[in-house]
Amino acid sequence: MDHNLLLAGIAKYVNLDAEEQEYLISVLHYKKIKRKQLILEEGDINNKVTFVTSGCLRSYAVDKNGTEHVLQFAPAGWWITDMRSFTTGQPARLNIDAIEDSEYIYIPKANFEELNIRIPKFEHYNRVIGQNALATYQHRQIDNVTLSAMERYANFCQLYPSLIKTLPQKQVASYIGVTPEFLSKMLNTMIVK
């Protein structure tokens, strides 16, 4: 199991000593999944946090018309979860699947709670990334109601530079809140200018 990417990500915020790293590694679970395979389905109880080591996962909700609304992409080095379900034990409202063959590490809820108790630096790390995630989501909500589709697309390109050439336009359109047809016309207009 390759946990180096996770340890490097944690080291950006806190320095775990060898014993703390060893304990963290002991509770990690590793999994490979194929493209389109779900790791969480709406209605299930989310009992883990997931860190992507290769490939890319996404979280999305499906409305009553069957339209998918992408909330997050998680390329290698990113965390992804349905946080509400994880913290409350209520059924998930999100689906999480692989948009390409992927590998990830997950930490079951019981182990996650124990990590936070046994390694206070890990709890600090979680607080910092949680605050960063909340700030990002707040700004995304503001952007969704104040920015044009072109500006939201530019923000997407800045947030996910490694994905812009690999994701299907349909998923990019879903993330920025436009139809695939509108995104295609918008991008064609950009090329013409």
Question: Which of the listed CATH numbers 3.40.190.10, 3.30.70.260, 2.60.120.10, 1.10.10.60 matches domain 4-118?
Answer: 2.60.120.10
Give the mean pLDDT of 180-187. Answer: 90
pLDDT score, position 192: 53
Q: Which pLDDT value is given to residue 4?
A: 93
Rounded distance between C-alpha atoms, residue 149 and residue 93, angstroms = 26
Task: Tell me: pLDDT of 136 over 80.
Answer: yes
Are 149 and 182 in contact, with CB atoms under 8 Å apart? yes
Q: What is the mean pLDDT of residues 46-74?
A: 95
- Per-residue pLDDT, averaged over 8-20, amounts to 96
pLDDT tens for residues 157-180? 998 888 888 898 899 999 999 999
Q: What's the chain's average pLDDT?
A: 93
pLDDT, residue 154, reads 92
User: What integer is the mean pLDDT of 134-156?
Assistant: 91
Q: Please say if the pLDDT value at position 193 is more than 60.
A: no
Please, which residues have CB within 8 angstroms of residue 141's CB and are 6 or more apart in sequence? none
Tell me what pLDDT residue 188 has: 85
pLDDT for 191: 67
**Residue 190 scores a pLDDT above 60:** yes
Contact yes or no for 27/118 (Cβ under 8 A)? no
What is the torsional sign of CA 167, 173, 179, 182?
A: negative
pLDDT at 19: 96
Lowest mean pLDDT among 51-55, 116-120, 138-142: 138-142
Whether the CB-CB separation of 50 and 96 falls below 8 Å is answered with yes
Are the C-beta atoms of 7 and 61 separated by less than 8 Å? no
pLDDT at residue 52 above 80? yes
